[in-house]
A = this chain, B = another copy of it.
Amino acid sequence: MTRRSFIEEARRAQIVSAAIDTLAEMGYVKASLAQIAKRADISTSLIPYHFKDKDDLMEQTVSEISLAWTTYVQEKVAQGVSAREQLHIYIESSLAYMGTRPKHFLALLEIVFSVRNADGSLRYVMDAEDPSVLPLENLLLAGQQNGEFRQFDAHNMALAIRGTIDQFLGQMNKARSDLESYTHELIELFDRATRKDPADE
């Protein structure tokens, strides 16, 4: 297996970038290779030249976006000391990263809800080991063990937190909504939802 040339690397990046724009703007259904190529100003057949097939391009796109996101969030979270602070950072940095990259999140949604396995099942819908949920779940468990958090089902709580984050990002472009105020609302919300109160002692 030989290394990729400089040109190949650049073209692949360019095509993935055009795919993100096209997916975000027109949706998966209309994001044909012809449309993506048009946006990149290359001929359609150059895409199957650099990628095995369309699924391969979608795979590259989804993994590039989600890896960058989870890496950013995990690096920020690692700087927090208490579990409580780490939870705040998780919420804040998740929203901040994608809130400033709405096209990337829309493209992610399009792929996640459209690409299927041969048997028709969704290929990228998260499972229990999803890299955006599992670290969050572990963070919550750690906070329970050191006594910062009350007792709750960490998996359910992690799902709920992700739901509030994805919900905002999904309707960000469409509706009136303010990233900053929503972020603070969520931090306050889950602070109250996770902390011990006098009755729990």
Residue numbers in B under 8 Å from A114 (CB-CB): 27-29, 113-114
Residue numbers in B under 8 Å from A25 (CB-CB): 120
Tell me which of A5-13, A64-72, A180-188 binds B.
Answer: A180-188
Q: Is A47 in the interface zone, CB < 8 Å from B?
A: no
Copies in the complex: 2
Min distance, Cβ A183 to any Cβ of chain B, angstroms: 9
Residues of A182-198 contacting chain B, CB below 8 A: 182, 185-186, 188-190, 192-193, 197-198
Min distance, Cβ A137 to any Cβ of chain B, angstroms: 12
CA distance A113 to B25 in the complex (A): 12
B-facing mask of A17-51, CB < 8 A → 1, else 0?
00000000111111000000000000000000000
Residue numbers in B under 8 Å from A157 (CB-CB): 185, 189
Min distance, Cβ A94 to any Cβ of chain B, angstroms: 12
State whether A185 and B152 are in contact (beta carbons under 8 Å apart), knowing that A25-B120, A110-B113 are contacts in the complex.
yes
Q: What's the tally of chain A residues with a CB closer than 8 Å to chain B?
A: 49
Judging by beta carbons under 8 Å apart, are A159 and B167 in contact?
Answer: yes
Judging by beta carbons under 8 Å apart, are B166 and A167 in contact?
Answer: yes
CA distance A162 to B166 in the complex (A): 11
Chain A interface residues (CB < 8 Å from chain B): 25-30, 109-110, 113-114, 116, 120-122, 125-128, 130, 152-153, 156-157, 159-160, 162-168, 170-171, 174-177, 181-182, 185-186, 188-190, 192-193, 197-198
Cβ contacts A to B, 13 pairs, < 8 Å: A27-B120, A28-B29, A125-B171, A127-B175, A128-B176, A153-B181, A157-B185, A157-B189, A159-B168, A159-B171, A160-B189, A163-B166, A189-B193
